[in-house]
Amino acid sequence: MTDMKVNLGGLELASPVVTASGTFGYGFEYLGAVDYSKIGAVTAKGICLEAWPGNPMPRHCEVPGGLVNAIGLQGTGVEHFLKYTVPWFRQQVKGVPVIANIWGRSVEEYAEVAARMGDVVDAIEMNVSCPNVKAGGHTFGQDPKVLEEVVAAVRKSTKLPLVVKLAPNVPSVVPYVRACEDAGADALSLINTLPAMVIDIERRKPVLANKTGGLSGRGIHPAAVKLVYDAHVASKLPILAMGGVAEAKDAIEFLLAGATAVAVGTATFSDPGTAGAVYDGIADYCERHEFSAVAELTGNLLV
């Protein structure tokens, strides 16, 4: 039996496979179609201070190898999240940690949302890289100085394990990784979606009402592996890797590139059993290659 436990910057996970923010609602929506015993944690949909309506329709477009979305962080706000959403999840699904994904329109808002989380959730993932909301998120992940400031502010306002979700569309991820280290982050998550656009040539209009969106799904996986590898080479911070994981092989690539845990996102839409199958496949791989613990895979790349 492989030891499947991992520690993501202080967050103890019974499985290295978690769900990615925005693809798994608030954790309970897939009840009945998902085996939670193989899911290390659920990452909830992005939350900010107030209720946020999100973008106009259409919000998504299927493309070869993936999905372009511009949902725009629709959400109920932190108060509703803490008072109703998390308690409902805890009641429905026992023993699975919750990672709250937070965003804000200012440094102060980020810090306040994080502070409000108290110890109701098990960890915080900061979204500083959503490409779909101009007012928030995106800008904080595109300048290492600004990133350091916002991460430091959130660090001061929470004792929870703090994960920072980085943008993929930067010349080098290294300055952003350093900024997170310097600001006291406990872990990194990457990658967020890649900025993308789809055009309806008959109407000569963008398909998405937001004009542009973020690309996720299988097609982005090799790009994500490269960025995870870059981040791991640059830093000792544990990494939660996401981007196109659809089968165990994809997750194992991430682990070998330097990730401590992996998140399944878009693949859940076609098969809600993906996270469970990825868990089984990682365990099989460890047995086949005689690793007694999945943690031994992290960065265990022969180069």
| Residues catalogued as catalytic | 130
Query: In which order are the strands placed within the sheet that holds 194-197?
Result: 60-63, 66-69, 212-216, 194-197
Closer to another protein by Cβ: residue 67 or 187: 67
For residue 98, the Cα-to-chain-centroid distance in whole angstroms is: 12
Build a one-symbol-per-residue string for 170-209: x at contacts with another protein by CB under 8 A, - elsewhere.
----------------------------------------
Number of residues interacting with another protein: please give it, by CB under 8 A.
Answer: 36
Relative to beta strand 60-63, strand 66-69 is antiparallel
Per CB under 8 A, which of residues 26..85 are in contact with another protein? 29-33, 45, 51, 53-54, 57-60, 62, 64-67, 69, 71, 74
Closer residue to another protein in complex, CB, 70/239: 70
Candidates 158, 192, 193, 268; binder of another protein (CB under 8 A) is 268
* Least gap, CB of 231 to another protein (angstroms): 25
List the structure tokens of 124.
């915080």
The answer to whether 269 and 24 have CB atoms below 8 angstroms apart is no
Report, in Å, the least distance between residue 193 CB and another protein: 13
To another protein, the closest distance from the beta carbon of 26 in angstroms equals 8
Q: What would the two tokens of residue 215 be?
A: 């690309």
Beta carbon nearer to another protein, 158 or 193 = 193
Task: Tell me how long the chain is.
Answer: 303
The residue among 56 and 184 lying less far from another protein, judged by its C-beta, is 56
- Min dist CB 299 to another protein, Å, is 27
Tell me how far the alpha carbon of residue 269 is from its chain's centroid.
Answer: 16
Peptide linkage before 191 cis (omega within 30 of 0): yes
If binding is defined by CB under 8 A, does position 127 make contact with another protein?
no
Taking contact as CB under 8 A, which single stretch among the options 107-115, 125-133, 176-184, 263-271 is the one that binds another protein?
263-271
Determine the Cα–Cα distance for residues 52 and 215; give it in Å rounded to an integer. Answer: 22
Q: How far apart are CA 162 and CA 184, in angstroms?
A: 8
Which token pair is 262? 């992996």
Instruction: Give the nearer residue to another protein in terms of CB position, either 67 or 150.
Output: 67
One residue of 217, 243, 258, 276 binding another protein per CB under 8 A: 217
Cα 117 to Cα 98: distance, rounded to the nearest angstrom:
11
Q: Which residues contact 185 (CB under 8 A, 6 or more apart)?
A: 9, 151, 155, 162, 163, 164, 237
Q: Is 218 in the site for another protein (CB under 8 A)?
A: yes
Question: Residue numbers of the site for another protein (CB under 8 A)?
Answer: 22-25, 29-33, 45, 51, 53-54, 57-60, 62, 64-67, 69, 71, 74, 217-218, 246, 266-273
